[in-house]
Amino acid sequence: MPLLIQDKDLATADRVQLLVSYFLQLVLTFMGIFFLLRQEWLSSFLSLGILLLTVLPALLRRSYHVFLPVEFEVLTVVLLFASLFLGEIHAYYTKFWWWDIVLHTTSAALLGMLGFILVYVLNKERRINLFMTPGFIALFSFAFSLALGVAWEIFEFSMDGFFGLQMQKSGLVDTMWDLIVDVLGAAVIAVIGYFSLKNEPRSFLFRHLLRKFVQKNPQLFRRRRKWIRL
């Protein structure tokens, strides 16, 4: 599978971001092997598991020919590295009280923007005769981000229960604060996106990412004959 960085159309800034992503993946690979040699099975499992998660965008690109903007791929790798590798394995959640708040807020905002892109694809798909208003798009973005935030809390609860980890830290209190921060991050993106669409469609907040997404995925967009407004 060819590396994305081999794309001749990539800008220099995109190449630099990809190099950062590859470096973090290389660190995860070496640390997974290091923990394995030291027979620290759980740390090795987590390191290699995180590495597999970071290659999901590449698998999506290869299997379904769907290209995400470089910014999304890199930020996904950085968030996974910071939350699971630094946060859990190296206890950054304990060392820095703000670590969890920053990561949850950032991830909620990222997922909110991803939700906007998904709805944009639906709006342009000819087989789906729907035209979604700015309010509905903002609501979908908010709900999409929050739903994945809840799924993450279930994942933390499951890891604590099955493997005896302490991902939830203080239990219910930690979970509730995580969800509150998720709500705030998702709400900020939803509100900004709503007013961007409502007042200045051509100055849409995510126009740069959307333009790159459309250019890389022309097969996802077709002109349609009729619209149904929601």
The highest-confidence range among 38-42, 121-125, 196-200, by mean pLDDT, is 38-42
Q: What is the pLDDT of residues 48-80, one digit of tens each?
A: 877 887 777 777 677 766 777 777 778 888 888
Strand partners, 131: 229
What pLDDT does residue 227 have?
A: 38
What would the two tokens of residue 122 be?
């639906």
Q: What is the pLDDT of residues 73-117, one digit of tens each?
A: 788 888 888 887 888 778 888 888 888 888 888 888 888 888 877
3-state secondary structure of 106: helix
Contact 205, 179 (CB under 8 A): no
What pLDDT does residue 187 have?
A: 92
What pLDDT does residue 137 have?
A: 83
In this structure, of 20-34, 117-131, 178-192, the range with the lowest mean pLDDT score is 117-131
What pLDDT does residue 5 have?
A: 56
CA 172/CA 46 separation, integer angstroms: 23
The pLDDT-based confidence of 1 (bands split at 50, 70, 90) is very low
Task: With a cut of 50, say whether residue 46 has pLDDT above it.
Answer: yes
Task: Kindly provide the residue ranges of all beta strands, DSSP E only, lying in the chain, ordered along the sequence.
Answer: none
